[in-house]
A and B are shown apart, each in its own frame.
Chain A
Amino acid sequence: MSAIIEVRDLVKVYNGSIRAVDGITFEVEEGEIFGFLGPNGAGKTTTISMITTLLGITEGAIKVGGHDVEKEPTEVRKVIGLVPQELTVDDDLTGRENMQLQADLYDVPRELAHERIEELLRLVDLKDAADRFVRTYSGGMRKRLELAEGLIHRPSVLFLDEPTLGLDVQTRAVMWEHIRKLKKESNMTVFLTTHYLEEADSLCDRIGIIDRGKIMALDSPTRLKENLGGDIIEMTVEGEGDFSNLLAQACNGECNPRDGNRYRIKVRNGELQIPRLLRSVTDQGGQVLSVSLTRPNLDQVFLEYTGRSLRDAEQSTVTNRGERMAQARQMARRR
């Protein structure tokens, strides 16, 4: 395996003061699906924009397929495809015309272009709508057309910036299917960003957890979860005294300091430990009111590495509301 994207000490400062990307270094291997998981404003789009030659670099260096993005932007542009966060397909052309335009811009020969357009329109289920004006498309259809456009020149790396942002649950699942199918049929490298945990979890071979312009952790979803150290058992116990030491000893795990009568225990194979925990509490005269078991998930991974949950991070982002409104406008828009 060799790295197709190499990012070294990358920094982006907007307007001399906003440090949107704050010194990140990572590599993306050829053929993998690599994801950036982070809340709005984390610096995902900024990073993608720099890798795809759209934005100047403040500090650091990027190579794509061995080409420096600043010194050989055209070489880089030839081998990448970008499906941007916002919808940029042309409303006043038909789906097929959009594809043809894209094919011409990437100098795909006519015959080949014709073949690929048919094939890609089939891949994203737009064959029936191909000759309709894009202004009659739904948000999900537009996004799928956008995906097809990004593939017209068979890029070696495909960038998907928030591929399912603003889509409903079913459409999101359809998008995931398309991305998986794509991955299976070609050995394309995919770099995607998302702030949906399930998306990162189910699609990506490796994930970078990004927050406030920094990569806080980088590994496969499985390993990230394993590194959490096990399942979380939460218990509410009524009784005299503090049960946390007792609980930790009983299952050989870790127990957080009690929070009122609530206890949070981190332990491997949680389902096997629950009976033991219940018994030890009862033996000491306590009464268990409730028990819950949570498997390690990326939300906990995010919490572990950034000190806040992804949902909290989203809500604390001031730009969040503005971005949602912009998104709504995009959907409702144009001319």
Chain B
Amino acid sequence: MEMIDLKVALKQTGALTGRELKHWYRIKIQLVLAFVQPLLWLGLFGQAFRLDALAGGMGGGMPIELAFGGAPNYFSYMAVGMLTVIVLFTCTFSGLSIVWDRRFGFLNKLRVAPIPRGIIPMSRVLAAVTRALLQAMVVLVIAVAFLYVPGLVGLDITNSSFGAMDLLTMLGILLLLSLGFAAIFVAIALTITNQDVLMGVVNLLNLPIMFTSAALFPTAIMPDWLRSVANYNPLTFAADGLRQVCFENAVSIHSLGFDVLGLAVFSLIFVAIGIVVAIKVLKY
């Protein structure tokens, strides 16, 4: 092993992350789509599916707050979970650029440069994290803004002492979540050389990850076997943590500390795996 100069490595990572982000924000339509999709979801799921009515049927007249983790209504419950889903969906494509770069020889240009191999996946991960957090914040603002549109339900943050620290906690939770997911999908992309196969794998994974979590639906309505899986899905950790920050008297699955710890372990493991895979795959 050769020594890595951290300062130089940071500069190199910054340069490559910047390249990724330029590719993203320079394509205007991509920007538009990135925000239209979650908006559609907020509209369809949140406004059209008024699951509040069903809550009464669950467990025989369960109050809404209990059914939806302390959220005052389904939309508020779902909008917070949607932040985690946006992170998941943004990160699933974090590795796609590696496939392109391999195809067009750019990857060899990176491999022949005196840079630590881990920088190649890490720059994609960081770019995906940046995009995921930006998109999540925009959606958060829009969901809250719905409150002020007559006839629409909005995200009602009932935590009366909600402040800057809480917002930072939310960002921290989403950061850990996106680190982990981006690393998984970059590691997958490193081992797959065909973009169609990669898309197939991505599509195979993202919906099951979403539906086996407490992101959009309470795990209480799931069968026992599924709930025991769903309760340890990183999306559940994140959504559960976010709801505890947002809602007064939140009814949580885990404690906030456990959620954050779970996310930290999750992201650490997958970032490490991503780097190890990169060193192996990019050697020759």
Contact = CB atoms under 8 A, between A and B. Distances in A.
A97 B22 contact: yes
Interface string B202-224: 00000000000000000000000
A93 B19 contact: yes
Interface in B1-40: 2, 8, 11-12, 14-16, 18-19, 22-23, 26
B104 A333 contact: yes
B23 A92 contact: yes
B106 A105 contact: no
Contacts of A84: 105, 108-109
Interface string A128-152: 0000000000000000000001000
A334 B108 CA distance: 17
Interface stretch (B59-67, B112-120, B236-244, B268-276): B112-120
B6 to A, nearest CB: 12
Interface in A56-97: 56, 72, 74, 77-78, 80, 82, 84, 86-88, 90, 92-93, 97
If over half of A's interface residues share one DSSP class (helix, strand or loop), that class is named, otherwise mixed; here it is: loop
Interface residues of B, number: 26
A88 B15 CA distance: 17
Nearest to A159: B112
A105 B113 contact: yes
B254 interface: no
Contacts of B112: 52-54, 77, 80, 82
A328 interface: no
B12 A107 contact: yes
Contact of B15 (A52, A53, A101): A101
A105 B108 contact: no
Contacts of A106: 113-114
A77 B2 CA distance: 13
A92 B104 contact: no
Contacts of B19: 90, 93, 101
Contact of B2 (A54, A72, A104): A72
A88 B106 contact: yes
A56 B12 contact: no
A246 interface: no
- The 8 A-B residue pairs with the shortest CB-CB distance in the complex, in nearest-first order: A104-B15, A88-B105, A77-B114, A56-B284, A105-B113, A78-B114, A86-B105, A107-B8
